[in-house]
Each structure stands twice: as structure tokens, then as C-alpha cells.
Amino acid sequence: MTYLQLVNSVLRRLRENEVSSVSENSYSLLIGELVNDAKKTVENAWDWSALRTDITFNTSASDFTYSLTGAKDNSKVLDALNDTANTRVQYETPAQFRTFRKLGSASSGAPFYFTFNGFDSNSDTQIDVYPTPDGVYSLIFTVVLRPDSLSNDSDVLSVPSSPVVLGAAARAARERGETGGQSAAEYFNLAQVSLSDAIAFDAAKNPEELVFRVV
């Protein structure tokens, strides 16, 4: 659904007139804010299949810090591969990286480990790799990228729409105090049930992620 369709869906539940643009009036703007609030809640609740993408970049000799373009502070790394060396790049703790660099002998070669190293000037997640690359290696990071807030009428929602609409309607009902029908508590309950169902459907696409093993 588009941003405008989401807002109008909420407005109909509140027995309000639909609008031709989210910015048409102050109330539709408020509903737009509540839609984005609900959207963030839904996006953060699960590593949705629709939000997963591969970020590919090439290393350069002697450079061990790289940015994951588009990966802000609410992203999540699910997997990392060294496509050139045909190996998996494993996560290591920052403490272990300090051990690598401070206590171990200098090492260069195909990257085998990564750790997180803050953010760059664009607020994108930075990672360090080890060993320090001795040349060009193609690294592939599978990341959950949670998008920015919807702003244009035609912006399209990536996650399931039902829990977003119901979550926004719940917030609107709480803000207004009444809807002439369902209470805010009822809307919040419906939103939670809808979110649980949506997560269950999406989780079925990656059932192995819900299998926990003792190590």
C-alpha cells in the first residue's frame, strides 16, 4: 500500500473523510505521523523478508574499515560472505579485534572476520575486517534495512499493511478519545494479533531461523 492509501484506510476506520493527499489538512498530517509510528513498530518487530538485501562492496589493499551503504543504526547483519575467496566472513567481538591488532602479529590476506566500528559521516554502519585485505575481495553482507519514514503520497510500504493500519488507528483512537466504534484498547489488541499473524507467515519462509541449538 502507498502512504496515501494507508492514511485513508485509517481515516475510514475513524469515520473521517478520505483525502487526496496526506498533507491535505492538519488531521491527515497527524494520521500520517501515526502511520509512520506504527510502521516503525512493525518493522522493528521482526527481520522481515521484504527488508532483507545484499550489500556488496570491494576491499582495497591495506584498508580494513568499510561502510555498509544504507545500513543505519536500526539495521541488522544476518550473514557475510567473501565471494572472491569463497568463504564465510564471521563476526568477532571488538575485544577480539583489539587482540588481533595489538597483541598479535600484523596479518594481511583474505578477510575472514568482521566487527562493528560505529558509523561514517552518512550515519551508515561501519565494519572492520581481519585480516587486513592484501588486495581486492568482493564481500557480500546480507542485511535487514529498515527504511526511512514514508513522506510522499506514493511511497510504498514494504512490510505487511494490516498491523500498520490497525496500529495507527489504535494510536489515533487513543489520541482522540473515541472513534464512535471500537476503543483504542480493542484496536491495539487487533494490531497485536495482526502483527503476530504476519510474523508467523513471514517466519515460515525461513523456518530454520526459529530453530535454536545448544552449543
Cis peptide before 131 (omega within 30 of 0): yes
Residue 140, C-beta contacts closer than 8 angstroms, at least 6 positions apart: 54, 55, 56, 80, 81, 83
Give pTM, 2 decimals. Answer: 0.88
Question: Could you read off the pLDDT tens digit of each residue along the chain, which spans 215 residues?
Answer: 999 999 999 999 999 999 999 999 999 999 999 999 999 999 999 999 999 999 999 999 999 999 999 999 999 999 999 999 999 999 999 999 999 888 877 689 999 999 999 999 999 999 999 999 999 999 999 999 999 999 999 999 999 999 999 999 999 999 887 655 678 889 999 999 999 999 999 999 988 777 665 65
Q: Alpha-carbon distance 42 to 52, whole Å?
A: 15
Structural domain boundaries in the chain: 50-144
